[in-house]
Amino acid sequence: MWELVRWVHLLAMAFFVGGQVVLAVAVVPALRGADRASLRAIARRFALWTLGALVLLVATGVAMASHFGDWDRTALHVKLALVVIVGALIAAHARWPERHALEAAVSLVTLAIVWLGVALSH
């Protein structure tokens, strides 16, 4: 069962991170200068799926941390702090989409979360 939980966690992470990469390197540059409404519609649709991925990440992450006794690990504490920071950055980006530094910050912090996830893996 724990392999399935880990698989769902990794799949949700791949969607979250992979989606960011696709948006940053393909969608946004392709639609730059085009109708901003199209870009916003794509971002809103991705945001809905991302929310689902985040729910799965939290649920499976809590389950694995409990099962494997990881709650005392410093790497997990740092990872959780970074998850809160990413949430704040995403909220800020939703509020101020023209501030492109927020996009970069979300991507960099997300990659740090992935790094810590690898460090925590069993």
Helices (H), the chain: 2-22, 28-31, 36-68, 74-95, 100-120
Q: What is the pLDDT of residues 78-121, one digit of tens each?
A: 999 999 999 999 899 889 988 889 988 999 999 999 999 999 98
Q: What percent of the chain has pLDDT over 70?
A: 99
Nearest to 40 by CA among 52, 29, 31: 31
Range of the domain at 110: 2-120
Non-local CB neighbours of 82 within 8 Å, separated by 6+ positions: 109, 112, 113, 116
What angle do helix axes 2-22 and 100-120 make, rounded to 10 degrees? 160
When divided into structural domains, the chain yields a total of 1
- Look at the pTM and tell me if it is higher than 0.95: no
